[in-house]
Amino acid sequence: RKSMNNDTPVVQNTTSHTFTGALKDGFQRIFDFEGRSSRAQYWWFVLWYIIITLACGFLTVFLPFFSIVTIIVSIALIIPMLAVSIRRLHDIDRTGWWLLISVVPIISLIIVYFAVVPGTDGPNRFGDKP
């Protein structure tokens, strides 16, 4: 496989396909709305997000004062989740604007479909395959 910009082969980063690799990649690219994220990178990051939000919710039940921490964590995670979601859409050659569909309940199922469909083979208009 060749990169879009030159004839050098593209080396796929397989470390970001692990749970810790996906988290590391996600936080290194916390404000990066460009490029692509693979299905593995996206779903590992989503799993981490779910674990954190469930843990915060659970702690709030037993420690009511923890609700402020839950709110802060939820707000802090909005940008990384948006970034990885947009990069995931880029992996299937869609723009980040498709994410706006998720605000419409029934139509938002399209976003779930986009999250599970394989990315485009090789480079696309958003960059090389992750």
pLDDT tens digits along 47-83 = 999 999 999 999 999 998 899 999 999 999 999 999 9
pLDDT tops 80 at residue 1: no
Q: Which amino acid is at 93?
A: D
Task: Give every CB contact of residue 86 below 8 A, 6+ residues apart in sequence.
Answer: 33, 96, 99
Please list the helix, strand and coil fractions of the chain in percent, rounded to the nearest 5, in that order: 60, 5, 35
Closest CA to 125 of 91, 100, 82: 91
pLDDT range class, residue 2, cuts 50, 70, 90 = very low
Report how far residue 104's alpha carbon sits from residue 24's, in angstroms, rounded to the nearest whole number: 31
What mean pLDDT, rounded, does the chain reach?
86
pLDDT range class, residue 29, cuts 50, 70, 90 = very high
pLDDT tens digits along 87-104 = 999 999 999 999 998 888
The stretch 17-25 carries a mean pLDDT of: 85
pLDDT range class, residue 17, cuts 50, 70, 90 = confident
